[in-house]
Amino acid sequence: MELDHKAIVWASNCSNDQWKAFRAMFRNQIFSAKAIHSQAASRERKAAEMVRFLEGKLGESVSIGQVVFAAIFDSLSNLMLSRDCIGFESSETANRLKSLIWRMMELGTSPNLAEFFPILKKWDPQGLRRETFRCCNELYSVWQPYVKERRERWRGERYGAQDFLDIFLENGLDDNQIDWLSLELFMAGTDTNTTAIEWAMTELIRNKGAMNKLREELNAELSSPLERKPPIDESVVSRLPYLNAIVKETLRLHPPGPLMLPHRASETCEVMNYTVPEGAKILVNVWAISRDPTVWEDDPTLFKPERFIGSKVDFRGHDFELLPFGAGRRMCPGMPLATRQISLILASFVRNFDWCLPGGKDPAELNMSEKFGFTLQKEQPLLLVPNRCSL
**Binding-site sequence positions for heme:** 332
Pick 215 or 254: Cβ nearer ligand HEM = 254
Cα 48 to chain centroid distance, Å, stands at 19
> Does the footprint of ligand HEM cover residue 192 (CB under 6 A)?
yes
> Does the footprint of ligand HEM cover residue 65 (CB under 6 A)?
no
Is residue 140 classed exposed, middle or buried when 0-12, 13-18 and 19+ CB atoms within 10 A define those classes?
middle
Pick 257 or 385: Cβ nearer ligand HEM = 257
> Does the footprint of ligand HEM cover residue 85 (CB under 6 A)?
no
Q: Closest separation between CB of residue 76 and ligand HEM, Å? A: 6
Q: How many residues bind ligand HEM (CB under 6 A)?
A: 25
Q: Closest separation between CB of residue 119 and ligand HEM, Å? A: 30
Pick 4 or 354: Cβ nearer ligand HEM = 4
Structural contact between residues 177 and 6, judged by C-beta atoms closer than 8 angstroms? yes
Pick 185 or 243: Cβ nearer ligand HEM = 185
Residue 128 β-bridge partners: none
> Does the footprint of ligand HEM cover residue 261 (CB under 6 A)?
yes
Structural contact between residues 69 and 75, judged by C-beta atoms closer than 8 angstroms? no
Q: Binding residue for ligand HEM (CB under 6 A) from 331, 356, 366, 383? A: 331
The CA distance from 328 to 317, in Å, is 7
Pick 36 or 147: Cβ nearer ligand HEM = 36
> Does the footprint of ligand HEM cover residue 386 (CB under 6 A)?
no
The CA distance from 327 to 310, in Å, is 23
Cα 309 to chain centroid distance, Å, stands at 24
> Does the footprint of ligand HEM cover residue 333 (CB under 6 A)?
yes
> Does the footprint of ligand HEM cover residue 343 (CB under 6 A)?
no
The CA distance from 232 to 45, in Å, is 9
Stretch 158-187 residues interacting with ligand HEM (CB under 6 A): 184-185
Sequence-ordered list of residues with C-beta below 8 angstroms from that of 33, at least 6 positions apart, any chain: 336
Pick 126 or 177: Cβ nearer ligand HEM = 177
Residue burial 25-49, b: 16+ Cβ < 10 Å; e: rest: bbeebbbeeebbeebeeebbebbbb
Find the helix packing angle between 335-352 and 64-81, rounded to 10°: 130
Q: Which residues bind ligand HEM (CB under 6 A)?
A: 8-9, 23, 76, 184-185, 188-189, 192-193, 196, 256-257, 260-261, 324-326, 330-334, 337-338
